[in-house]
Structure 1
């Protein structure tokens, strides 16, 4: 910024169409001198605008700005918060990259006696924008009734994106367990009653004991 006059000029700077932060504002420029003012422009995508300078007399000068913001293409995603709720598996997908992604999902689960779920990779009917988080559900009909299972979800996408997450779950038929526990408790109570009856009847049949003390006599 140059001042060709013979007197000092105070100039106020602003941005139009773009967000501009100036290192100094306003700026005092002595006569017949030049002032360099660093500035920072914040923008996303391609933008156009101008930097405007106004002096104390209301005169205005503008410098056009054209910005082209280039972002490196990065394909990255994560699968998080995997959990099993009854007959469904819940999880979240997060796009950690800079490009939209169409993820593919593979599901595997191993129990104590081998694999109990094996689903090959398939394309999900979703499109994840950069930075987006999405909560999804995977149905699991025919899950084990009694087992300890490790569930593994693997997600991939074009560009080399890949992530895996696991969750552990125990399946216990609580209704059957409660029934067995009730039967055991009832059997124990019946056994105690029988023992008590046996002890009571034995005491009733026993004859009272009498003891006689014999003493010797001399005639």
Structure 2
């Protein structure tokens, strides 16, 4: 009878340990899945991309200087139109903790920036070149918004390696969008202040 009890416990204990190990492995490899314990991912951006992004960001910071004007574009930039580009995820050279709330926050800021840019497109008059730069920026913001929606919908299925790729790609999209924004704003400033 004693032998039966030992055997019985092993039949219960081995599957429990196996399931626990499987759960921990899934939690590690799929950091934002519903099975994950922490539901966060520590992302370290590529130094080359971060350096290039910092240069573009410095250009934007220089453009946000205090100018006394009635120009709606300049006023909006000073009020924080470019704030979407100042994300810890994009500017930090250290590892950054990323979770679903961070993703939703980034997505909301992109949507808000797109709305402000559409408002500028309909309420301000620009010359043809500046208007083309604005439409390129808007189309890129719309693409980024759709990409962020797709990421948010499928975030449970991404492994650690896929998160690295997705966040590097997102970093590159933000860099491209920042370049478009700088080009649009430079064109506007150059044409409005001859």
TM-score by length of 2: 0.25
Query: Which structure is higher in helix share?
Result: 2
Query: Which structure is higher in strand share?
Result: 1
Specify the structure having the higher radius of gyration (Cα).
1
- Larger RCO (alpha carbons 8 Å, 6+ apart): 2
